[in-house]
Amino acid sequence: MNRITIIGDGAWGTALALLLHSKGCSIKIWGYFPDYIEEQREKRENYKFLPGVKIPGDITYTADLAERLQKVPNCSSVRSPHSSSEVSLKSFPRTIQGECQLSPLQKASSRKP
């Protein structure tokens, strides 16, 4: 089973987590704000960005990126394009242990044609 950490708990990160979960992946969502991460964990809903969409109980949450990446010897981490990604990427060189693939995804480009 693929173990994937989604870096970013906004609408894009949550939707991606749900999609990958539906494909059989083990998912953990990382978010920058510990209080909101705890609320999502308890309510099983990202009510700020995807209200009304229930999050399956086996999708887990963390606000501690280092904890997540250190406990998974072989993982894939996907970052969604938001300000939290910039903050989290600064900590990657210090936190990744073992083999971990980083796959940056974006929903739109800020570059004009």
For the stretch 27-79, pLDDT in tens is 989 888 999 999 999 999 999 999 999 999 999 999 887 766 655 555 555 55
* Cα 69 from chain centroid (whole Å): 11
What confidence tier does 104 reach under pLDDT thresholds 50, 70, 90? low
Residues 48 and 74 sit within 8 Å (Cβ to Cβ): no
- The domain 3-104 having CATH identifier 3.40.50.720: the answer here is yes
Contact 28, 4 (CB under 8 A): yes
- The Cα 46–Cα 110 span in angstroms is 26
The pLDDT of 8-36, averaged and rounded, is 91
Q: pTM of the full predicted structure? A: 0.74
- C-beta of residue 7 within 8 angstroms of C-beta of residue 45: no
The share of the chain scoring above pLDDT 90, in percent, equals 35
Q: Are strands 60-62 and 74-79 parallel, antiparallel or unpaired?
A: unpaired
Residues whose CB is less than 8 angstroms from the CB of residue 22 and which lie 6 or more positions away in sequence, other chains included: none
- Please name the residue ranges forming H helices in the chain: 11-22, 34-43, 65-70, 83-95
